[in-house]
Structure 1
Amino acid sequence: MMERSLMQCTRSLSRTLTQPSCRLSIAETRHTCLTRCLHTTRPALLQSKPPKTRDRGPKSNEDTQTDFSALDVLRNTVAPATSIDACTGNGFALNNQMRISGSGILLIGGEAFRWWPWLRDERKEGTGDDAMTGNMLNAKGQWEVDEGAWGVLEMMYPKPDLLIIGTGPHTTPIAPSVRKYLNNLGIRLDIQDTRNAAAQFNLLATERGVGQVAAALVPIGWVERQ
Protein backbone atom coordinates (compact mmCIF):
# COMPACT_ATOMS: atom_id res chain seq x y z
CA MET A 1 0.00 0.00 0.00
CA MET A 2 2.84 2.36 0.86
CA GLU A 3 4.66 1.62 -2.42
CA ARG A 4 1.50 2.33 -4.41
CA SER A 5 0.92 5.68 -2.69
CA LEU A 6 4.56 6.68 -3.37
CA MET A 7 4.21 5.83 -7.07
CA GLN A 8 1.00 7.88 -7.33
CA CYS A 9 2.68 10.89 -5.77
CA THR A 10 5.64 10.59 -8.13
CA ARG A 11 3.38 10.43 -11.21
CA SER A 12 1.32 13.40 -10.01
CA LEU A 13 4.52 15.48 -9.53
CA SER A 14 5.80 14.49 -12.99
CA ARG A 15 2.53 15.54 -14.66
CA THR A 16 2.63 18.87 -12.82
CA LEU A 17 6.22 19.65 -13.91
CA THR A 18 5.50 18.71 -17.53
CA GLN A 19 2.61 21.15 -17.87
CA PRO A 20 3.39 24.15 -20.18
CA SER A 21 2.56 26.70 -17.49
CA CYS A 22 5.24 25.28 -15.19
CA ARG A 23 8.10 24.95 -17.69
CA LEU A 24 10.68 27.65 -18.37
CA SER A 25 13.08 27.56 -21.25
CA ILE A 26 16.81 27.96 -20.66
CA ALA A 27 16.75 31.46 -22.15
CA GLU A 28 13.85 32.50 -19.92
CA THR A 29 15.58 31.08 -16.84
CA ARG A 30 18.81 32.95 -17.67
CA HIS A 31 16.90 36.20 -18.29
CA THR A 32 15.11 35.87 -14.97
CA CYS A 33 18.37 35.27 -13.13
CA LEU A 34 20.13 38.22 -14.75
CA THR A 35 17.20 40.50 -14.07
CA ARG A 36 17.27 39.61 -10.39
CA CYS A 37 21.05 39.99 -10.16
CA LEU A 38 21.13 43.47 -11.76
CA HIS A 39 17.98 44.88 -10.21
CA THR A 40 18.86 47.91 -8.05
CA THR A 41 15.49 49.52 -7.41
CA ARG A 42 14.68 49.75 -3.75
CA PRO A 43 11.54 47.93 -2.63
CA ALA A 44 8.51 50.17 -2.45
CA LEU A 45 8.25 49.67 1.30
CA LEU A 46 11.83 50.94 1.83
CA GLN A 47 11.59 54.06 -0.37
CA SER A 48 11.48 57.36 1.48
CA LYS A 49 8.27 59.29 1.14
CA PRO A 50 7.88 63.07 1.05
CA PRO A 51 6.80 64.64 4.34
CA LYS A 52 3.10 65.25 4.72
CA THR A 53 3.66 68.57 6.47
CA ARG A 54 6.48 71.05 7.06
CA ASP A 55 5.27 71.97 10.50
CA ARG A 56 8.15 71.55 12.95
CA GLY A 57 5.98 71.92 15.98
CA PRO A 58 5.98 74.70 18.60
CA LYS A 59 9.08 76.88 18.91
CA SER A 60 11.38 75.78 21.68
CA ASN A 61 12.03 78.19 24.54
CA GLU A 62 15.08 76.33 25.85
CA ASP A 63 18.18 78.41 26.58
CA THR A 64 20.38 75.85 24.87
CA GLN A 65 18.79 76.38 21.45
CA THR A 66 21.31 77.78 18.91
CA ASP A 67 20.39 80.78 16.78
CA PHE A 68 22.51 80.12 13.69
CA SER A 69 21.52 83.45 12.12
CA ALA A 70 23.33 85.22 14.96
CA LEU A 71 26.35 82.93 14.97
CA ASP A 72 29.58 84.89 14.34
CA VAL A 73 32.83 83.16 15.31
CA LEU A 74 34.90 86.29 14.58
CA ARG A 75 32.67 88.70 16.53
CA ASN A 76 35.23 89.39 19.27
CA THR A 77 38.26 89.29 16.95
CA VAL A 78 39.79 92.68 16.18
CA ALA A 79 40.17 93.34 12.46
CA PRO A 80 43.71 94.30 11.36
CA ALA A 81 44.42 98.00 10.81
CA THR A 82 45.23 97.27 7.17
CA SER A 83 41.90 95.64 6.36
CA ILE A 84 40.04 97.23 3.44
CA ASP A 85 37.04 99.37 4.36
CA ALA A 86 36.23 100.43 0.79
CA CYS A 87 37.51 100.03 -2.77
CA THR A 88 37.36 103.29 -4.74
CA GLY A 89 37.83 103.84 -8.44
CA ASN A 90 41.47 104.91 -8.07
CA GLY A 91 42.46 103.54 -4.67
CA PHE A 92 41.42 102.18 -1.28
CA ALA A 93 40.23 103.18 2.18
CA LEU A 94 41.76 101.25 5.07
CA ASN A 95 40.49 100.42 8.52
CA ASN A 96 43.06 102.79 10.09
CA GLN A 97 41.47 105.79 8.31
CA MET A 98 44.21 105.91 5.68
CA ARG A 99 43.20 106.76 2.10
CA ILE A 100 45.30 105.65 -0.86
CA SER A 101 44.61 107.00 -4.34
CA GLY A 102 46.35 106.89 -7.69
CA SER A 103 48.00 103.52 -7.06
CA GLY A 104 47.48 99.94 -6.12
CA ILE A 105 48.29 98.61 -2.69
CA LEU A 106 50.45 95.89 -1.14
CA LEU A 107 49.32 94.63 2.27
CA ILE A 108 52.13 92.64 3.84
CA GLY A 109 52.96 91.92 7.48
CA GLY A 110 50.52 94.48 8.82
CA GLU A 111 51.98 97.24 6.64
CA ALA A 112 50.48 99.01 3.61
CA PHE A 113 52.62 99.99 0.62
CA ARG A 114 51.70 101.97 -2.45
CA TRP A 115 52.04 99.74 -5.51
CA TRP A 116 52.42 100.53 -9.20
CA PRO A 117 52.78 97.11 -10.87
CA TRP A 118 52.18 98.64 -14.31
CA LEU A 119 55.37 100.74 -14.22
CA ARG A 120 58.11 99.79 -16.67
CA ASP A 121 61.66 101.14 -16.76
CA GLU A 122 61.50 101.71 -20.50
CA ARG A 123 58.22 103.68 -20.35
CA LYS A 124 57.33 107.03 -18.81
CA GLU A 125 53.62 106.51 -18.22
CA GLY A 126 52.45 105.67 -14.73
CA THR A 127 53.93 108.75 -13.06
CA GLY A 128 52.49 112.14 -12.10
CA ASP A 129 49.12 112.83 -13.72
CA ASP A 130 49.47 109.56 -15.62
CA ALA A 131 49.65 107.43 -12.45
CA MET A 132 46.75 105.19 -13.51
CA THR A 133 47.96 104.57 -17.06
CA GLY A 134 49.82 101.55 -18.35
CA ASN A 135 49.61 97.93 -19.38
CA MET A 136 49.55 94.74 -17.36
CA LEU A 137 48.26 92.29 -19.98
CA ASN A 138 50.62 90.40 -22.25
CA ALA A 139 49.94 89.37 -25.85
CA LYS A 140 47.87 86.38 -24.64
CA GLY A 141 45.64 88.52 -22.42
CA GLN A 142 47.28 87.23 -19.22
CA TRP A 143 48.06 89.42 -16.22
CA GLU A 144 51.84 89.88 -16.18
CA VAL A 145 54.04 92.28 -14.21
CA ASP A 146 57.80 92.60 -13.83
CA GLU A 147 59.58 90.75 -11.05
CA GLY A 148 60.63 94.11 -9.62
CA ALA A 149 57.04 94.72 -8.57
CA TRP A 150 57.48 92.04 -5.85
CA GLY A 151 60.62 93.47 -4.25
CA VAL A 152 59.03 93.75 -0.79
CA LEU A 153 58.16 90.07 -0.82
CA GLU A 154 61.73 89.13 -1.63
CA MET A 155 63.16 91.09 1.30
CA MET A 156 60.75 90.11 4.06
CA TYR A 157 61.18 87.01 6.24
CA PRO A 158 59.27 84.94 7.10
CA LYS A 159 57.19 85.26 3.97
CA PRO A 160 53.39 85.01 4.00
CA ASP A 161 51.86 81.66 3.23
CA LEU A 162 49.17 83.08 0.93
CA LEU A 163 49.11 86.07 -1.43
CA ILE A 164 45.70 87.27 -2.63
CA ILE A 165 45.97 89.13 -5.93
CA GLY A 166 43.20 91.47 -7.04
CA THR A 167 43.56 92.02 -10.78
CA GLY A 168 41.19 95.01 -11.05
CA PRO A 169 37.49 95.15 -11.96
CA HIS A 170 37.59 91.64 -13.46
CA THR A 171 39.34 88.39 -12.64
CA THR A 172 42.21 87.89 -15.09
CA PRO A 173 44.40 84.77 -15.29
CA ILE A 174 48.00 85.52 -14.46
CA ALA A 175 50.94 84.60 -16.67
CA PRO A 176 52.76 81.33 -15.87
CA SER A 177 56.00 83.27 -15.34
CA VAL A 178 54.42 85.34 -12.52
CA ARG A 179 52.93 82.25 -10.88
CA LYS A 180 56.23 80.38 -11.09
CA TYR A 181 58.19 83.31 -9.65
CA LEU A 182 55.90 83.69 -6.63
CA ASN A 183 55.61 79.95 -6.05
CA ASN A 184 59.41 79.75 -5.99
CA LEU A 185 59.31 82.19 -3.07
CA GLY A 186 57.18 79.63 -1.22
CA ILE A 187 53.94 81.61 -1.56
CA ARG A 188 50.57 80.22 -2.61
CA LEU A 189 48.31 82.38 -4.79
CA ASP A 190 44.61 83.22 -4.87
CA ILE A 191 43.53 85.23 -7.95
CA GLN A 192 40.26 87.23 -7.88
CA ASP A 193 38.82 90.54 -8.95
CA THR A 194 39.78 93.33 -6.55
CA ARG A 195 36.45 93.60 -4.68
CA ASN A 196 36.36 89.89 -3.84
CA ALA A 197 40.10 89.83 -3.17
CA ALA A 198 39.72 92.64 -0.60
CA ALA A 199 36.86 90.81 1.14
CA GLN A 200 38.87 87.59 1.16
CA PHE A 201 41.89 89.37 2.65
CA ASN A 202 39.78 90.96 5.39
CA LEU A 203 38.37 87.57 6.40
CA LEU A 204 41.59 85.54 6.26
CA ALA A 205 43.81 88.24 7.79
CA THR A 206 41.39 88.50 10.72
CA GLU A 207 41.21 84.74 11.11
CA ARG A 208 44.85 83.74 10.45
CA GLY A 209 46.77 86.97 11.03
CA VAL A 210 48.54 89.43 8.74
CA GLY A 211 51.76 87.44 9.01
CA GLN A 212 50.21 84.53 7.12
CA VAL A 213 48.09 86.36 4.54
CA ALA A 214 49.13 89.19 2.19
CA ALA A 215 47.35 91.03 -0.61
CA ALA A 216 48.33 92.79 -3.83
CA LEU A 217 45.42 94.82 -5.16
CA VAL A 218 44.90 96.86 -8.35
CA PRO A 219 42.24 99.64 -8.13
CA ILE A 220 38.81 98.69 -9.43
CA GLY A 221 38.86 101.70 -11.78
CA TRP A 222 41.92 100.43 -13.63
CA VAL A 223 41.56 100.45 -17.41
CA GLU A 224 44.14 98.78 -19.59
CA ARG A 225 45.78 101.20 -21.99
CA GLN A 226 45.07 100.32 -25.62
Structure 2
Amino acid sequence: MAARQRAAALPTLMRALRKEAPPRHHISLPSLRRAFSLYDQINIITEVPEDQLRFKEFDDTGFKVNGVRYEGSILCVGNLLMSWKPKKFSDITPESLSIFKTVRPIPEILVLGCGKYIQPVNPELRSFIRSTGMKLEVVDSRNAASTYNILNEEGRIVAAALIPHGVTS
Protein backbone atom coordinates (compact mmCIF):
# COMPACT_ATOMS: atom_id res chain seq x y z
CA MET A 1 0.00 0.00 0.00
CA ALA A 2 2.85 2.36 0.79
CA ALA A 3 4.33 1.58 -2.62
CA ARG A 4 1.06 2.61 -4.33
CA GLN A 5 1.00 5.92 -2.41
CA ARG A 6 4.58 6.65 -3.44
CA ALA A 7 3.78 5.80 -7.05
CA ALA A 8 0.75 8.12 -6.99
CA ALA A 9 2.76 10.90 -5.33
CA LEU A 10 5.44 10.85 -8.00
CA PRO A 11 3.22 12.18 -10.85
CA THR A 12 1.85 14.86 -8.51
CA LEU A 13 5.40 15.89 -7.64
CA MET A 14 6.39 15.96 -11.31
CA ARG A 15 3.39 18.16 -12.18
CA ALA A 16 4.31 20.56 -9.35
CA LEU A 17 7.90 20.79 -10.56
CA ARG A 18 6.81 21.54 -14.13
CA LYS A 19 4.75 24.53 -13.05
CA GLU A 20 6.57 27.80 -13.28
CA ALA A 21 7.89 29.21 -10.05
CA PRO A 22 6.15 32.38 -8.94
CA PRO A 23 7.78 35.46 -10.42
CA ARG A 24 10.43 37.04 -8.24
CA HIS A 25 10.84 40.76 -7.87
CA HIS A 26 14.21 41.78 -9.24
CA ILE A 27 16.13 44.04 -6.89
CA SER A 28 19.27 45.56 -8.30
CA LEU A 29 22.40 45.07 -6.32
CA PRO A 30 24.07 48.25 -5.13
CA SER A 31 26.94 49.45 -7.27
CA LEU A 32 30.29 48.28 -6.01
CA ARG A 33 32.17 50.87 -8.03
CA ARG A 34 32.73 53.14 -5.02
CA ALA A 35 33.70 50.22 -2.81
CA PHE A 36 36.65 49.42 -5.03
CA SER A 37 37.71 52.96 -5.98
CA LEU A 38 41.44 53.60 -5.81
CA TYR A 39 40.60 56.95 -4.26
CA ASP A 40 39.06 55.43 -1.13
CA GLN A 41 42.41 54.89 0.57
CA ILE A 42 42.75 51.23 -0.32
CA ASN A 43 46.35 50.22 0.23
CA ILE A 44 47.12 47.40 -2.17
CA ILE A 45 50.87 47.68 -1.67
CA THR A 46 51.97 46.44 1.75
CA GLU A 47 55.74 46.99 1.63
CA VAL A 48 56.16 50.77 1.77
CA PRO A 49 59.69 52.04 2.56
CA GLU A 50 60.00 54.00 5.81
CA ASP A 51 61.41 57.10 4.12
CA GLN A 52 58.61 57.32 1.54
CA LEU A 53 55.99 60.05 1.99
CA ARG A 54 52.50 58.77 2.66
CA PHE A 55 49.40 60.85 3.31
CA LYS A 56 47.63 59.33 6.31
CA GLU A 57 44.87 61.85 7.08
CA PHE A 58 43.44 65.17 5.97
CA ASP A 59 41.01 67.70 7.36
CA ASP A 60 39.75 71.14 6.43
CA THR A 61 42.99 72.92 7.39
CA GLY A 62 45.82 70.54 6.54
CA PHE A 63 47.27 67.07 6.15
CA LYS A 64 48.99 64.38 8.19
CA VAL A 65 51.95 62.89 6.36
CA ASN A 66 54.00 60.04 7.90
CA GLY A 67 52.57 60.86 11.32
CA VAL A 68 53.39 64.59 11.18
CA ARG A 69 50.63 67.21 10.95
CA TYR A 70 51.05 70.00 8.36
CA GLU A 71 48.80 73.08 8.36
CA GLY A 72 47.94 74.83 5.11
CA SER A 73 48.93 74.06 1.56
CA ILE A 74 51.79 71.69 0.79
CA LEU A 75 53.92 70.76 -2.18
CA CYS A 76 55.41 67.26 -2.53
CA VAL A 77 58.03 66.35 -5.09
CA GLY A 78 59.03 62.70 -4.87
CA ASN A 79 59.80 62.30 -1.16
CA LEU A 80 60.42 65.99 -0.50
CA LEU A 81 57.67 67.85 1.35
CA MET A 82 57.43 71.63 1.82
CA SER A 83 54.95 74.31 2.81
CA TRP A 84 53.39 76.03 -0.16
CA LYS A 85 52.22 79.64 -0.34
CA PRO A 86 48.84 79.45 -2.19
CA LYS A 87 45.89 79.58 0.22
CA LYS A 88 43.18 79.02 -2.40
CA PHE A 89 43.05 77.59 -5.91
CA SER A 90 43.05 80.97 -7.64
CA ASP A 91 46.44 81.71 -5.97
CA ILE A 92 48.12 78.93 -7.96
CA THR A 93 50.23 80.48 -10.70
CA PRO A 94 53.24 79.43 -12.78
CA GLU A 95 55.37 81.36 -10.25
CA SER A 96 54.00 79.30 -7.36
CA LEU A 97 55.09 76.17 -9.25
CA SER A 98 58.44 77.58 -10.41
CA ILE A 99 60.32 74.85 -8.50
CA PHE A 100 59.56 72.62 -11.48
CA LYS A 101 61.88 74.73 -13.63
CA THR A 102 64.84 73.51 -11.57
CA VAL A 103 63.97 70.17 -9.96
CA ARG A 104 65.45 67.04 -11.59
CA PRO A 105 64.30 64.51 -12.49
CA ILE A 106 61.08 66.12 -13.64
CA PRO A 107 58.05 64.30 -12.20
CA GLU A 108 56.01 62.51 -14.82
CA ILE A 109 52.76 63.78 -13.30
CA LEU A 110 51.63 66.66 -11.11
CA VAL A 111 48.57 65.89 -9.00
CA LEU A 112 46.87 69.19 -8.24
CA GLY A 113 44.50 69.15 -5.24
CA CYS A 114 41.97 71.97 -5.58
CA GLY A 115 40.50 71.86 -2.07
CA LYS A 116 36.99 70.54 -1.59
CA TYR A 117 35.89 70.82 -5.24
CA ILE A 118 37.57 70.38 -8.61
CA GLN A 119 38.34 73.71 -10.27
CA PRO A 120 39.09 74.55 -13.91
CA VAL A 121 42.77 75.24 -14.57
CA ASN A 122 43.51 78.47 -16.41
CA PRO A 123 45.25 78.05 -19.78
CA GLU A 124 48.41 79.88 -18.68
CA LEU A 125 48.96 77.47 -15.77
CA ARG A 126 48.16 74.44 -17.93
CA SER A 127 50.62 75.66 -20.57
CA PHE A 128 53.35 76.15 -17.96
CA ILE A 129 52.90 72.64 -16.56
CA ARG A 130 52.94 71.17 -20.06
CA SER A 131 56.16 73.10 -20.85
CA THR A 132 57.93 71.37 -17.94
CA GLY A 133 57.16 67.96 -19.45
CA MET A 134 54.72 66.90 -16.73
CA LYS A 135 51.20 65.62 -17.15
CA LEU A 136 48.50 67.23 -15.01
CA GLU A 137 45.81 65.53 -12.91
CA VAL A 138 43.35 67.95 -11.28
CA VAL A 139 41.13 66.54 -8.52
CA ASP A 140 39.81 67.49 -5.10
CA SER A 141 42.47 67.39 -2.36
CA ARG A 142 41.25 64.14 -0.77
CA ASN A 143 41.57 62.26 -4.04
CA ALA A 144 44.83 64.06 -4.86
CA ALA A 145 46.42 62.78 -1.63
CA SER A 146 45.27 59.22 -2.35
CA THR A 147 46.45 59.39 -5.96
CA TYR A 148 49.85 60.66 -4.82
CA ASN A 149 50.13 57.75 -2.36
CA ILE A 150 49.34 55.17 -5.01
CA LEU A 151 51.66 56.59 -7.68
CA ASN A 152 54.49 57.09 -5.17
CA GLU A 153 54.11 53.52 -3.88
CA GLU A 154 54.36 52.25 -7.43
CA GLY A 155 57.78 53.91 -7.63
CA ARG A 156 56.72 56.55 -10.13
CA ILE A 157 58.19 60.04 -10.01
CA VAL A 158 55.20 62.10 -8.94
CA ALA A 159 54.52 65.54 -7.51
CA ALA A 160 51.51 66.86 -5.62
CA ALA A 161 50.42 70.44 -4.98
CA LEU A 162 47.61 70.42 -2.43
CA ILE A 163 45.31 73.10 -1.04
CA PRO A 164 43.63 72.04 2.26
CA HIS A 165 40.36 70.14 1.78
CA GLY A 166 38.24 72.79 3.52
CA VAL A 167 38.99 75.43 0.88
CA THR A 168 36.04 75.81 -1.49
CA SER A 169 37.16 78.54 -3.92
TM-score, length basis structure 2: 0.68
Conserved in 2, the CA contact under 8 Å of 1:80 and 1:205? no
Quote the residue 2:114 is aligned against. Answer: 167
Code of the residue aligned with 1:197 in structure 2: it is A
Q: 1:163 is paired with a residue of what secondary structure?
A: strand
Matched residues in 2 for 1:74 and 1:150: separation?
30
RMSD over equivalenced CA pairs, Å: 2.0
Q: Decide whether aligned partners of structure 1 residues 80 and 194 sit closer, same or farther in structure 2, where only a CA change above 3 A counts.
A: farther
**SS of the residue aligned with 2:149?**
helix
Q: Residue 164 of structure 1 aligns to a residue in which SS?
A: strand
Structure with the higher strand share, 1 or 2: 2
Counterpart-to-counterpart distance in 2, 1:203 and 1:79: 15
1:83 deviation in Å? 1.4
CA distance in 2, matches of 1:73, 1:100: 25
8 Å contact kept, 2:89–2:114 = no
Contact kept? 1:160, 1:214, Cα under 8 Å: yes
Q: Distance in 1 between matches of 2:138 and 2:46?
A: 27
Map of 1:125-140 to 2, 5 A cutoff?
Answer: 136-137=89-90
Q: Give yes or no for the alignment of 1:207 onto 2:154.
A: yes
- Name the counterpart of 1:217: 162
4+ aligned runs moved over 3 Å, structure 1 = 77-81
Does residue 108 of the first structure (1) align with residue 77 of the second (2)?
A: yes
Structure 1 unmatched ranges of 5 or more: 1-71, 119-134, 138-143
SS at match of 2:82: strand
SS in 2 for 1:208: coil
Task: Tell me which amino acid in the other structure corresponds to 2:70.
Answer: I
Task: State the partner residue of 1:51.
Answer: none
The alignment partner of 2:47 has SS state of coil
* Higher RCO, 1 vs 2 (CA within 8 Å, ≥6 residues apart): 2
Indicate if the aligned counterparts of 2:112 and 2:136 stay in contact, CA closer than 8 A. Answer: yes
Q: Matches of residues 152-163 of structure 1 in structure 2 within 5 Å?
A: 152-163=99-110
In structure 2, list runs of 5 or more residues that go unmatched.
1-42
For 2:116 and 2:168, the matched residues in 1 are separated by 9
Structure 1 residues 52-75: Cα deviation after superposition (integer angstroms, max 9, x where no partner): xxxxxxxxxxxxxxxxxxxx8622
The answer to whether the 8 Å contact 2:117/2:168 transfers is no
Report if the CA contact (8 A) 1:79-1:202 is conserved.
no
Provide TM-score, normalisation by structure 1. 0.52
